[in-house]
Amino acid sequence: SKVPSITLNNGVSMPQLGFGVWQVPDDEAAKAVGTALEAGYRSIDTAAIYENEKGTGQAIAASGIARDELFVTTKLWNSEQGHDATLRAFDESLGRLGLDYVDLYLIHWPVPSKDLYTETYKAFEKIHADGRAKAIGVSNFLPGHLERLLAETSVVPVLNQIELHPQLQQAESRAFHARHDIRTEAWSPLGQGRGLLEVPTIVAIARKHDRTPAQVVLRWHLQLGNIVIPKSVTPSRIQENIDVFDFELDADDLAALAALDEGKRLGPDPAVFGG
Ligand code: NAD
C-alpha cells in the first residue's frame, strides 16, 4: 500500500493513515468502506456506538483482501465498562464485524465519574492475552487517566486516540504519550471539515503546494508523527485524503500551522463526559 506503517510499542505495525466511519449509517458503511479499501486504505476505525460494525464487516468480507493486510479498530462504549460487561460487549462487536479478532480495541472514553476504566482495561488485557485483540489502547484519556492506568495495569496502551487538529494541537498529551512510548492518534483530524479548511493560513499553504486544505492538514499530522483517520463518504475526497504521501510541508509551513492552536474543542471534555 502507499500508506507507510508505524510500529506500535508491542511490535504490531499499523498504517499511519486510516479511514474513520463515525456518523456513517450502517447501510452506507459497506459502500464507503468498500470505496476506501479500493482507494488503498487498509486501516478502518469504527466503534460499537457508531452502529456500523456490521456494514464495515460486510465491506471487509466482500473486499477479498487478506485479513492480515487489514487493520481493524473498534471501541467499547461507555455503558459497557466493567469486567463482565466488557467481555460481553467485545464478543458482540466481533460478531457484528464477522471477525475472529480485531487489530486494536479501545476504551472509547474514560468516564472518570464511573471509575471503571482500570477494571475495564484489565478485561482488555485478557482479550489481548487470548489473541482476540492484537493490540489494546484507549481514547480520550487525559494524562492523569493514563498515569493511573500505567500504575495499576500491566500492558502499556499502544495509543491514545484524542481530538487533535491544528486548532487543538494537544501539546501536553502528545508530550506525555511520547515519554511513555504511546502513539497519538488524531480524531476529527480535519476539524470535522467545519471552518478549519477555510482558515486563510491553511488555504495559502495549500495553494503554494498545489494541494487542497484537507491534504495540507493531513500532511501536518503525518509530519508530526500522528496516526490519522479522516472520514468522508464522498469517493473523490476519500481518494484525496489518501493522496498525501508525495509532498512535504516545509519548516515555514509547519511554523505557520503551529501558530493556529487555540485550544478549540469540537467534541466533549473527557474530564466530565459520560456521566
Ligand atoms: P474529520 O475531521 O475526519 O472530518 C470529516 C468531515 O470533513 C467529513 O464529514 C466532511 O464533511 C469533511 N471532509 C472530509 N474530507 C474532506 C476533504 N478532502 N475536503 C473537504 N472536506 C472534507 O471528522 P470525524 O469524522 O469527526 O473524525 C474522523 C474519525 O475519527 C471518525 O470517523 C471516527 O472514526 C473517529 N472519531 C473518534 C472519536 C472518539 O471519541 N474516539 C470522536 C470523533 C471521531
Residues with catalytic function: 50
How would you write the pLDDT of the chain (275 residues) with one tens digit per residue? 689 999 999 999 999 999 999 999 999 999 999 999 999 999 999 999 999 999 999 999 999 999 999 999 999 999 999 999 999 999 999 999 999 999 999 999 999 999 999 999 999 999 999 999 999 999 999 999 999 999 999 999 999 999 999 999 999 999 999 999 999 999 999 999 989 999 999 999 999 999 999 999 999 999 999 999 999 999 999 999 999 999 999 999 999 999 999 999 999 999 999 97
191 lines ligand 1 (CB under 6 A): yes
The type of residue at 44 is I
Question: CA-CA distance, 143 to 126, in Å (whole number)?
Answer: 24
Residue 151 Cα to ligand 1 midpoint, Å, equals 33
167 lines ligand 1 (CB under 6 A): no
Rg (CA), the chain: 18
103 lines ligand 1 (CB under 6 A): no
pLDDT for the residue numbered 209: 98
Coil/strand/helix, residue 228: strand
Protein residue with its CA nearest to atom 30 in ligand 1: 187
Cα-based angle 22, 27, 28 (whole degrees, multiple of 5): 60
For CA atoms 198, 16, 40, 68, the dihedral sign is: negative
Chain-centre distance of CA 234, in angstroms? 19
110 lines ligand 1 (CB under 6 A): no
**Ligand 1, pocket-test mutation among 232, 242, 243, 273, most atoms within 8 A of CB:** 232
pLDDT for the residue numbered 194: 86
Task: Please tell me the total number of residues recorded for the chain in this structure.
Answer: 275
Protein residue with its CA nearest to atom 34 in ligand 1: 20
Protein residue with its CA nearest to atom 21 in ligand 1: 193
**Ligand 1, pocket-test mutation among 192, 211, 238, most atoms within 8 A of CB:** 192
For CA atoms 26, 30, 35, 39, the dihedral sign is: positive
Which cell is 186 given? 488524531
Please answer whether residues 270 and 140 qualify as being in contact, where contact means their C-beta atoms are separated by less than 8 angstroms: yes
Protein residue with its CA nearest to atom 11 in ligand 1: 193
Question: CA-CA distance, 273 to 64, in Å (whole number)?
Answer: 39
Query: Could you tell me the domains of the chain?
Result: 5-192+225-244 (3.20.20.100)
**Ligand 1, pocket-test mutation among 24, 45, 105, 187, most atoms within 8 A of CB:** 187
Please answer whether residues 88 and 60 qualify as being in contact, where contact means their C-beta atoms are separated by less than 8 angstroms: no
Please answer whether residues 124 and 105 qualify as being in contact, where contact means their C-beta atoms are separated by less than 8 angstroms: yes
Strand segments, DSSP code E, in the chain are 5-7, 13-15, 19-20, 43-45, 71-76, 102-107, 133-139, 159-163, 183-187, 227-228
Please answer whether residues 57 and 96 qualify as being in contact, where contact means their C-beta atoms are separated by less than 8 angstroms: yes
- Residue 273: in which H helix or E strand, if any? none
For the CA of 109, the nearest atom of ligand 1 = 40
pLDDT for the residue numbered 2: 83
